Structure 1
């Protein structure tokens, strides 16, 4: 039995993992979806990047002494990656699902044309407003799946996106699996490509879009279980 802690990306909460969690539990594993501060049912809680790192570390502590597989999707790859190095031998593996990774001195908004996001944060009281339905085109989602995401999304605390990461060691030292969703681009981002040169990292590709917990929950659960078995 594997214990998974599941953390979704921007705008989303624990609810986004409902189908994946059900698949993992049906296979006999533990699944613990986590809502980060400031989102979903925790909306209104002040949050920066360090807050989200602590959210993950505290959840692992709450679960007791057994090891865990941390799963970070999209934005959450940064706080999950930072948390992974802090939990020591409690970590079995970290899985980055089409995710950003922590890079020293860089934030989620570093390294890509993010000025429109910065402007949106500035004009929406410090929050990044959720995407509209049209923004999910080409990501392998049904209309119903898009509606679920849009209806459940909440504004994302902007400070978590602009705070710079400060990893204590290179993420290349972590036992890691990177899941690349091919409908969101054929190649991992440069920071990920560099880490994939480590013999502790593996790459798994899946033919779906950036939100596989909605578009391919069963396939994603299988990928997570297979990643957990890598030694």
Structure 2
């Protein structure tokens, strides 16, 4: 039995995993969804990126969890990747769900946003927070109108400091046992930094034919991928000539 710790991406709280957790528990696993500081029911709590790393490590230690499968979605791949190395032998695997990954000395903004000055201006114009997406901005991601309404209705502004503070890693991320879930409607290929990490013998790639928020659009399929990721312990299969790792769970292509 694995103990899943689930951390959703920007603007979201533990509620985002409501349809995934029953599937994990039905398969015999523990499932613990975590709201990061400053979001959802913790809105108003001051938070930076280091706070979010501490949130995750603290939850694992508070619950005294072992055989942890740590799941980071979107932005939360950055604090989850750092927390994964900090929880030591409690970790069984880390799963990055269509997520950013941490790089030592780099922030979410420096690795992803098109310009630091433009991003700083966007945050300053919204009281130091990153404004949630509108319904129109969620289009093309495999979500129904009802799912979009749920996303938009539950989203809260994201603390800007968590997006601008640099990550701190003590060893190469490729040394962690990891699965990367690429959601194909959000782009057919992993980003260059993820593609490089997938060359590691300890990483594998799973593709899911849906958009960036599979916990809403494909919760059962995502839960299946997570449970099989927890069970996987063998050597990876390589796709010919690519250097990428592809799971037998591949959906879509």
Give the TM-score normalised by the residue count of structure 2.
0.89
Measure, in 2, the Cα distance between the counterparts of 1:120 and 1:131.
13
Query: Out of 143, 146, 150, which is 1:144 matched to?
Result: 146
Name the CA distance, whole Å, in 2 between partners of 1:22 and 1:181.
22
1: CA distance between counterparts of 2:65 and 2:98? Answer: 29
Q: 2:192 maps to what in 1?
A: 190
The answer (yes or no) to whether the contact 2:3–2:65 under 8 Å persists in 1 is: no
Paired residue for 1:129? Answer: 131
Pair 52,140 (structure 1): closer, same or farther in 2 beyond 3 Å: same
**Structure 1: runs of 5+ lacking an equivalent:** none
- 1:140-196 residue CA offsets vs partner (Å, 9 max, x unmatched): 000000000000000000000001111111110000000000000011111111100
Look up the match of 1:107: 107
Q: 1:121 to 1:97 in 2, by over 3 A?
A: same
Alignment size in residue pairs = 231
Quick one: higher RCO (CA 8 Å, sep 6+), 1 or 2? 1
How far has the Cα of 1:214 moved from its partner? Answer: 0.1
Q: What is the Cα deviation at residue 118 of structure 1?
A: 2.9
What do you get for the CA RMSD once the two structures are aligned? 1.0
User: CA shift at 1:117, angstroms?
Assistant: 3.6
SS at match of 2:96: strand
Instruction: Show CA shifts across 1:28-47 (max 9, x none).
Output: 21110000000000000000
